[in-house]
């Protein structure tokens, strides 16, 4: 889990949820807690993790072959700066390493770091780095590279999109080649997610070619190095002989770009690829499972499929009306019939994949009569489209252009709203326009997936008054205060309580309509050996292609 | 003649500049900013976002941005994409154009090779079963949306039969479906046109005269009909070539073909101004130049047409 | 796409442009025809495929007007449980991805197809004829400016233009009509301009001018009606192309606003389910093809009927 994984935006652009939640979610599961509780001491020893989860029954590793992954969109660049979309990340993570990485079971594993210690005030983090690590160009990896990378991101004139992860960082020091000291402005329980997961640039090389040159010719410490980059078609990487975990078994890693979901499914069934990093439709998933050529893992994602609502809109500003809308949506049927069970109903802003999640919230089961009563009671009355004091119970909802999953979903909700007297018009727009419309308040509502807290539960950008991604224009003084506390609360239990309280307020206020959380299915061809039996976050396993081999 | 060419080139240049300003204005009018895509879900505050916009120059007025772009262009720099930042726009377009050309040139030659004989034969054997059959086929070919044929092709040959890959451009097999789909309607259109042109020539006095002289039908056809009928066909081919880079947006989207059409469509959806701008520029230059060339060729071939 | 800048299926556009003679000949045909409408009708009727096309279009119009009476189901009614169900006796063409009746949506979809096809063409003809007539009649710098504008539009790849415009205005039925109409008028302007250039030297135009008629009156009364012949033929051929354009726009997600049933949007939805439920994409594809075919056949028929070179 690197900083970039935290923020896959992919789901806005593609049909489905993204990685970020997962990754962070992962963290939720196991990682940081014990370390923080102890206040000090290091996470696991380095170098022992490689085959920890491998099923021994899979035989002896063999060398050779090409591992093929399918992605849905262009690999726009090869710098960690470009790695927001999952597909790009899946390539970037082969080339780069961070100090700590999150594995497929949501455990944090040391990568370039061996251990860390935290000062008692929680403000000084000292990382011990791994020895003898080489970059693809032969340079040695040292603390200078880490300092350079962090400093580069924090320098506002570089325009890094990862700058927000370093908000709490005061300075970075490299006292000796194998030690990095990060000093924080305030204690931060999310330090390992926000900073520790950042992929490391080679200081000398990056300074020399600049970020622009780096995007086309990256040099990392990762298990694979660049062979050929053809953004729209395919990216080919070759095994790096001097990788610190040892040379990968497969000779090449390839990412093929296939924008059409049905094209990816057909390619998998035809045996043309070993996995796909971007999920398929529920029917396609089923048919590949039935085909028997692939091992698969089902897991719950972290992004919330939701309708953000402009809380300043004359109709949508009425809390009772928003509650009525929740009652009017038959979310269980949408999950069962449209997503064919490949989703779970959302019951707050937080996915149940994370430990921050709580069940103890206001629930909204499908009940159209209750929806009507709630509207009546709130003064929205009349036949056809309801109205109150001349204001119609009507608004417009934006769906991403060409979104063949969420547009039908919006059409269903539109019909359900109509049944209770609410008029929701639909409009398709490209995602930048959709996001801009919600941010500026020019749009009333939209339908897309977003995360409101993940493994790192912070959602200041999303839920605080005036936050950059506060699409619903939600303002709540209590939530603002809780978010602030949560940022620096080092005590795990207290922190959980804070974020559960936020969920309770959200479900009471309903600033947006949370619908469902998708389940993903990760496939690996049966010819691929060295895969684990259990994956709680299938996307993350793509980082570990270095440990698989190809049989036959 | 020379002054005609210069005049046409001058007009063409005005047109190209007009087109580029138009595109720039239109793209500015689209709500949202490409910065949204760069940031994605990264935790970026409103101030940090402004700094990123500033770095990329999106906070400057449109004419300022336009002149920067045009200035760079003069020095041969087509700019850089906001999304695919690692690759200059010029190389992006070059790669995509090559992919599109491969597809189009292939389907174009195939369709010429098939359509012209069919069209001529249909005209010569007018009102025969061959004529009716081929023209019915051609009419249907023109009217079925090509992406639907593409989809059905994928269902049949990739999904059901598993003979051909459904996407990509890696082996000769991947060319079959897209080339066939593009050629299908190309053949239909060209065949209809060829038939019409040939019929017109067949009705001309000199053909009747040639026949009256007792020339063999074969000779009449090859010497007189063929040559004259080719004239309008060549013109149309010229106009088709003008659109050879831009004609395949939908087919490329369906087959995931990494060509100009897909690059253009993706770039619009991500508000990647620089790329959209550059593509439109290239396409319009090609169209303008090829149109001038076509008119000149036409004048050269047909002595009856004089250039004003 | 298969379509040139008029929206006409492509081979008509270039021919019209490239053979300067064609326009004039067709015009003569119109003049002749105006003198004898019965003859045109007789000629048109003789071309059987054209008659078939006309009958089919009339049927479509009937469908569009009487959609609520004909459609077996509510086209908006969602049955989530029937996702992707194959054709059955209850739902003759099956159900789409959220269980709506495909047949009913197809029937309602004729409305969008016809409104866009005819509406956009009407807008294009109006703009094109006006601009072409003004450019041709006044000549000089007016002509130069308007002609360059026309050139610029024609040098803009059509689908590219549509995509950018749709992205600006946002997709909706009204916008689709306007955007398509405003993108395809250039060819009409070019034809009309060429016609007008020759017409304005005709005796009756000179006579009208000598009699002191205003420019506007001369253009409206004497020039435009006589230049309309080739425009009518081109327009009838172009409607089919416009229908394909709309469906391509919808297919790319820039067409009419959901849940309005549009053939292109139905096709786009079906794309996602090609492997499991191919019937979703088959029905709208056939509907588009047959409708476009019908308009083309009528266009062919009209061209023959109005063309003096085709003898009785």
Higher pLDDT, C170 or B53: B53
Instruction: Please tell me the predicted confidence (pLDDT) of residue C30.
Output: 46
A57: how many CB neighbours lie within 10 A of its CB? 7
The C-alpha of B121 sits at a distance from chain C's nearest C-alpha, in angstroms, of: 19
Instruction: Please tell me the predicted confidence (pLDDT) of residue C10.
Output: 38
Higher pLDDT, B11 or A309: A309
DSSP string over chain C: --B-TTSSBTTHHHHHHH-HHHHHHHHHHHHHHHH-HHHHHHHHHHSHHHHHHHHHHHHHHHHHHTHHHH-SS-TT---GGGTTPPP-SSSTT-B-TT--BHHHHHHHHHHHHHHHHHHHHHHHHHHHHHHHHHHHHH-HHHHHHHHHHHHHHHHS-HHHHHHHHHHHH---HHHHHHHHHHHS-HHHHHHHHHHHHHHTTSHHHHHHHHTT--HHHIIIIIIHHHHHHHHHHHHHHHHHHHHHHHHHHHHTT-SSPTTS--HHHHHHHHHTTTTT-THHHHHHHHHHHHHHHHHHHHHHHHHHHH-TTS--
Which of A133-147, B38-52, B108-122, C81-95 has the highest average model confidence (pLDDT)? Answer: A133-147
**A493 and A545 together in one domain:** no
Question: For residue C250, what is the nearest residue in chain A, using CA coordinates?
Answer: A402
Say what percent of chain A tops pLDDT 70: 89
Contacts A261 to C, Cβ<8 Å: 272
Binned at pLDDT 50, 70 and 90, residue C102 comes out as very high
Asked whether the predicted pLDDT for residue C224 surpasses 80, the reply is no
Quote the tokens at residue B249.
Answer: 């947006």
**C61, C115 contact by CB (below 8 A):** no
Asked whether the predicted pLDDT for residue C3 surpasses 70, the reply is no
**A280 and A354 together in one domain:** no
Tell me the backbone φ, ψ of residue A429, rounded to 5 degrees.
-145, 150
**A434 and A505 together in one domain:** yes
A107 falls within a domain: no
In whole angstroms, give the CA distance from residue A431 to residue A11: 10
A541 falls within a domain: yes
Q: How far is CA C283 from CA A383, A537, B9, in A?
A: 36, 40, 48
Beta carbons of B284 and C297 less than 8 Å apart: no
Instruction: Please tell me the predicted confidence (pLDDT) of residue B247.
Output: 61
**A496 and A351 together in one domain:** yes
- Which residue(s) pair with C95 in the sheet? C101
The pLDDT tens digits of the residues spanning A350-385 come to 999 888 999 999 999 999 999 999 999 999 999 899
Q: Which of B31, B34, B145 to substitute to test the interface with C, most C CBs within 10 Å?
A: B145
Whether this model's ipTM surpasses 0.85 comes out as no
**A258 and A312 together in one domain:** no
Asked whether the predicted pLDDT for residue B258 surpasses 90, the reply is no
Beta carbons of A163 and B269 less than 8 Å apart: no
Beta carbons of B154 and C274 less than 8 Å apart: yes
The C-alpha of A173 sits at a distance from chain B's nearest C-alpha, in angstroms, of: 24
Higher pLDDT, C225 or A114: A114
**A238 and A310 together in one domain:** no
**A544 and A413 together in one domain:** no
**A500 and A546 together in one domain:** no
Beta carbons of B41 and A451 less than 8 Å apart: yes
A117: how many CB neighbours lie within 10 A of its CB? 16
Asked whether the predicted pLDDT for residue C17 surpasses 50, the reply is no
* Weakest mean pLDDT among A243-252, A330-339, B24-33: B24-33
A159 falls within a domain: no
Binned at pLDDT 50, 70 and 90, residue C7 comes out as very low
Higher pLDDT, B253 or C92: C92
Beta carbons of A287 and C268 less than 8 Å apart: no
Quote the tokens at residue A85.
Answer: 């979309």
DSSP string over A283-334: HHHHHHHHH-SEEEEEEE---EEEEEB-TTSTTTT-HHHHHHHHHH--HHHI
The pLDDT tens digits of the residues spanning B182-237 come to 888 788 888 888 887 787 777 777 777 887 887 787 787 777 777 777 777 776 77
**A230 and A276 together in one domain:** yes
The C-alpha of A224 sits at a distance from chain C's nearest C-alpha, in angstroms, of: 34
Find all residues with CB under 8 Å of B103, minimum gap 6, and list them. Answer: B175, B178, B179, B182, B248, B252, B257, B259
Instruction: Please tell me the predicted confidence (pLDDT) of residue A218.
Output: 95
Asked whether the predicted pLDDT for residue A424 surpasses 90, the reply is yes
- Which residue(s) pair with A484 in the sheet? none
Residue extents of the structural domains in chain C: 68-305
Question: For residue B270, what is the nearest residue in chain A, using CA coordinates?
Answer: A432
Instruction: Please tell me the predicted confidence (pLDDT) of residue A356.
Output: 92
Give me the long-range contacts of B67-76 (CB less than 8 A, separation at least 24): B69/B24, B69/B274, B69/B277, B70/B20, B73/B281
Binned at pLDDT 50, 70 and 90, residue A12 comes out as very low
A154 falls within a domain: no
Instruction: Please tell me the predicted confidence (pLDDT) of residue A367.
Output: 95
Binned at pLDDT 50, 70 and 90, residue A389 comes out as very high
* Weakest mean pLDDT among A208-222, B235-249, C136-150: B235-249
| Helix (H/G/I), strand (E/B), else coil: B236 | helix
Contacts A260 to B, Cβ<8 Å: 166-167, 254, 256
> What mean pLDDT is reported for chain B?
81
In whole angstroms, give the CA distance from residue A45 to residue A38: 17
Instruction: Please tell me the predicted confidence (pLDDT) of residue C307.
Output: 62
Which domains, from first to last, does chain B contain?
Answer: 2-74 (no CATH), 101-269 (1.10.3720.10)
In whole angstroms, give the CA distance from residue B114 to residue C214: 54
Binned at pLDDT 50, 70 and 90, residue B304 comes out as low
Instruction: Please tell me the predicted confidence (pLDDT) of residue B239.
Output: 67
CATH number for the domain spanning A430: value is 3.10.105.10
Higher pLDDT, B284 or A128: A128
Give the up-direction half-sphere exposure of residue C231: CA atoms within 13 A in the CB hemisphere.
Answer: 29
DSSP string over A74-105: ----SSGGG--SHHHHHHHHHH---SEEE-TT
Asked whether the predicted pLDDT for residue A405 surpasses 90, the reply is no
A179 falls within a domain: no
Nearest CB among A9, A157, A430 relative to B269 is that of: A430
The pLDDT tens digits of the residues spanning C20-71 come to 333 344 444 444 445 556 777 888 888 888 899 999 999 999 999 998 998 8
The region that residue C302 occupies, defined by phi over 0 for left and psi between -120 and 50 for alpha, beta otherwise, is: alpha
- Which residue(s) pair with A299 in the sheet? A520
A41 falls within a domain: no
The pLDDT tens digits of the residues spanning A45-78 come to 333 334 444 444 567 888 999 999 999 888 989 9
What is the distance, to the nearest Å, from the Cα of residue A398 to the centroid of all Cα atoms in its chain? 22
A346 falls within a domain: yes
The pLDDT tens digits of the residues spanning C229-240 come to 778 777 877 888
Beta strands (DSSP E) in A373-511 are 387-388, 391-392, 394-400, 423-429, 445-450
**A442 and A399 together in one domain:** yes
In whole angstroms, give the CA distance from residue A94 to residue A17: 22
Interface of C with A (CB under 8 A): 76-78, 80-81, 83-84, 97-99, 167, 170-172, 252-254, 257-259, 268-269, 271-277
**A544 and A411 together in one domain:** no
In whole angstroms, give the CA distance from residue A469 to residue A462: 5
| Residue A310 structural domain | 304-519
Asked whether the predicted pLDDT for residue A507 surpasses 70, the reply is yes
Chains touching A (at least 3 CB pairs under 8 A) are: B, C
Instruction: Please tell me the predicted confidence (pLDDT) of residue C188.
Output: 87
A35 falls within a domain: no
> What mean pLDDT is reported for chain A?
86
The C-alpha of C212 sits at a distance from chain B's nearest C-alpha, in angstroms, of: 32
Higher pLDDT, C222 or A435: A435
Instruction: Please tell me the predicted confidence (pLDDT) of residue B306.
Output: 52
Binned at pLDDT 50, 70 and 90, residue C255 comes out as confident
Beta carbons of C76 and A415 less than 8 Å apart: yes
Question: For residue C239, what is the nearest residue in chain B, using CA coordinates?
Answer: B143
Beta carbons of C155 and B288 less than 8 Å apart: yes
**A237 and A257 together in one domain:** yes
The CATH class of C68-305 is: mainly alpha
Binned at pLDDT 50, 70 and 90, residue B127 comes out as confident
Q: Average pLDDT of A286-312?
A: 92
- Name the DSSP class of A176: E
Instruction: Please tell me the predicted confidence (pLDDT) of residue C260.
Output: 87
Instruction: Please tell me the predicted confidence (pLDDT) of residue A59.
Output: 77
Asked whether the predicted pLDDT for residue A11 surpasses 60, the reply is no
Number of domains composing chain A: 2
The pLDDT tens digits of the residues spanning A425-474 come to 998 888 888 888 999 899 999 999 999 988 889 999 999 998 889 999 99
Say if C229 is an interface residue toward chain B (CB within 8 Å).
no
């Amino acid at each position: 889990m690197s900083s970039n994984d935290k923020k896959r935006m992919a789901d806005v652009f593609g049909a489905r949820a993204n990685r970020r939640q997962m990754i962070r979610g992962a963290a939720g599961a196991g990682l940081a807690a014990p370390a923080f509780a102890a206040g000090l001491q290091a996470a696991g020893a380095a170098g022992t993790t490689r085959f920890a989860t491998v099923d021994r029954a899979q035989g002896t590793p063999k060398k050779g072959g090409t591992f093929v992954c399918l992605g849905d969109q262009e690999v726009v660049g090869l710098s960690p700066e470009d790695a927001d979309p999952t597909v790009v990340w899946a390539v970037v993570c082969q080339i780069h390493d961070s100090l700590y990485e999150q594995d497929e079971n949501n455990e944090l594993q040391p990568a370039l770091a061996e251990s860390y210690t935290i000062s008692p005030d929680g403000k000084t983090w000292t990382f011990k780095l791994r020895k003898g690590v080489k970059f693809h160009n032969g340079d040695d990896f040292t603390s200078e590279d880490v300092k350079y990378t962090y400093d580069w991101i924090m320098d506002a004139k570089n325009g890094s999109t990862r700058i927000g992860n370093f908000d709490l960082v005061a300075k970075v020091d490299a006292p000796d080649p194998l030690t990095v000291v990060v000093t924080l402005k305030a204690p931060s329980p999310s330090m390992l997610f926000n900073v520790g997961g950042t992929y490391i640039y080679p200081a000398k090389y990056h300074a020399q070619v600049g970020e622009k040159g780096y995007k086309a010719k990256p040099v990392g410490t990762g298990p694979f190095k660049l062979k050929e980059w053809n953004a729209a078609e395919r990216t080919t990487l070759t095994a790096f002989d001097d990788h610190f975990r040892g040379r990968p078994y497969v000779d090449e890693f390839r990412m093929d770009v296939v924008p059409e979901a049905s094209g990816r499914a057909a390619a998998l069934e035809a045996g043309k690829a070993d996995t796909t990093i971007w999920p398929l439709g529920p029917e396609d998933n089923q048919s590949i499972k039935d085909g028997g050529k692939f091992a698969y893992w089902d897991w719950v994602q972290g992004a919330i499929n939701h309708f953000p609502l402009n809380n300043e809109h004359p109709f949508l500003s009425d809390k009772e009306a928003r509650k009525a809308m929740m009652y009017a949506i038959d979310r269980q049927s949408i999950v069962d019939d449209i997503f064919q069970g490949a989703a779970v109903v959302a019951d707050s802003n937080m996915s149940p994949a994370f430990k921050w999640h709580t069940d103890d919230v206001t629930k909204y089961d499908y009940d159209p009569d209750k929806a009507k009563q709630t509207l009546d009671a709130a003064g929205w009355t009349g036949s056809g489209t309801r109205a109150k004091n001349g204001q119609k119970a009507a608004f417009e909802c934006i769906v991403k252009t060409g979104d063949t999953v969420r547009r039908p979903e919006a059409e269903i909700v539109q019909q359900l709203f109509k049944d209770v007297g609410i008029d929701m018009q639909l409009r398709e727009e490209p995602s930048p326009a959709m996001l801009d419309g919600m941010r500026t308040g020019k749009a009333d509502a939209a339908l897309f997936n977003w995360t409101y807290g993940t493994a790192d539960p912070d959602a200041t950008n999303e839920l605080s008054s005036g936050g950059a991604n506060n699409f619903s224009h939600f303002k709540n003084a209590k939530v603002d205060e809780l978010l602030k506390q949560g940022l620096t609360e080092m005590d795990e239990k207290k922190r959980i309580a804070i974020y559960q309280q936020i969920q309770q307020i959200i479900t009471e206020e309903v600033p947006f309509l949370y619908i469902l959380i998708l389940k993903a299915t990760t496939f690996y061809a049966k010819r691929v050996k060295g895969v684990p039996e259990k994956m709680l976050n299938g996307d993350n396993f793509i980082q570990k292609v270095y440990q698989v081999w190809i049989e036959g | 003649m020379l002054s005609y060419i210069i005049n046409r080139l001058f007009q063409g240049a005005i047109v190209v500049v007009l087109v580029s300003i138009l595109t720039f204005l239109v793209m500015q009018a689209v709500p949202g900013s490409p910065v949204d895509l760069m940031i994605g879900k990264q935790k970026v505050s409103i101030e940090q976002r402004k700094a990123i916009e500033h770095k990329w120059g999106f906070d400057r007025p449109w004419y300022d941005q336009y002149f920067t772009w045009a200035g760079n262009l003069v020095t041969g720099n087509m700019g850089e994409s906001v999304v695919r930042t690692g690759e200059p726009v010029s190389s992006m377009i070059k790669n995509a154009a090559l992919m599109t050309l491969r597809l189009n040139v292939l389907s174009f030659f195939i369709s010429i090779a098939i359509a012209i004989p069919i069209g001529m034969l249909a005209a010569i054997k007018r009102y025969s079963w061959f004529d009716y059959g081929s023209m019915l086929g051609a009419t249907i070919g023109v009217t079925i949306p090509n992406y639907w044929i593409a989809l059905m092709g994928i269902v049949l040959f990739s999904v059901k039969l598993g003979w051909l890959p459904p996407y990509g451009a890696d082996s000769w097999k991947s060319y079959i479906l897209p080339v066939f789909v593009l050629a299908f309607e190309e053949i239909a259109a060209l065949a209809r046109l060829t038939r019409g042109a040939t019929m017109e020539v067949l009705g001309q006095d000199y053909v009747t005269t040639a026949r009256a002289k007792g020339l063999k039908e074969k000779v009449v056809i090859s010497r007189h009909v063929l040559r004259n009928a080719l004239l309008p066909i060549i013109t149309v081919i010229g106009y088709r070539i003008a659109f050879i880079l831009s004609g395949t947006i939908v087919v490329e989207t369906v087959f995931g073909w990494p060509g100009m059409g897909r690059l253009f469509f993706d770039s619009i959806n991500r508000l990647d101004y620089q790329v959209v701008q550059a593509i439109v520029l290239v396409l319009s230059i090609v169209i303008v130049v090829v149109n001038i060339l076509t008119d000149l060729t036409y004048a050269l071939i047909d002595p009856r047409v004089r250039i004003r | 796409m298969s379509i040139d800048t008029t929206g006409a299926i492509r081979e008509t556009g270039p021919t019209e442009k490239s053979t300067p003679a064609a326009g004039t000949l067709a015009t003569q045909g119109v003049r002749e025809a105006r003198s004898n409408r019965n003859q045109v009708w007789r000629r048109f009727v003789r071309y059987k495929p054209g008659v078939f096309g006309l009958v089919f279009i009339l049927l479509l119009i009937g469908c569009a007007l009487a959609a609520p009476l004909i459609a077996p189901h509510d086209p908006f009614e969602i049955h989530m449980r029937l996702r992707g169900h194959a054709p059955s006796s209850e739902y003759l063409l099956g159900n789409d991805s959220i269980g709506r009746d495909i047949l009913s949506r197809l029937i309602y979809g004729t409305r969008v197809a016809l409104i866009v096809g005819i509406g956009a063409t009407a807008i294009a003809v109006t703009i094109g004829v006006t601009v072409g007539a003004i450019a041709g009649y006044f000549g000089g710098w007016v002509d130069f400016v308007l002609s360059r504008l026309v050139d610029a539009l024609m040098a803009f790849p059509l689908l590219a233009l549509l995509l950018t415009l749709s992205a600006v205005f946002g997709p909706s039925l009204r916008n689709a009509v306007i955007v398509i109409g405003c993108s395809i008028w250039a060819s009409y302007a070019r034809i009309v301009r060429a016609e007008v250039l020759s017409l304005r030297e005709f005796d009756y135009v000179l006579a009208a001018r000598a009699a002191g008629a205003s420019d506007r009156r001369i253009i409206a009364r004497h020039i435009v009606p006589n230049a309309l012949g080739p425009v009518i033929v081109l327009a009838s051929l172009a409607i089919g192309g416009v229908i394909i354009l709309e469906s391509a726009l919808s297919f790319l997600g820039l067409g009419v606003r959901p849940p309005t049933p549009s053939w292109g949007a139905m096709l786009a939805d079906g794309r996602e389910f090609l492997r499991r439920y191919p019937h979703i994409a088959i029905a709208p594809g056939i509907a588009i093809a047959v409708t476009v075919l019908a308009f083309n056949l009528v266009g062919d028929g009209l061209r023959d009927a109005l063309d003096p070179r085709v003898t009785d």
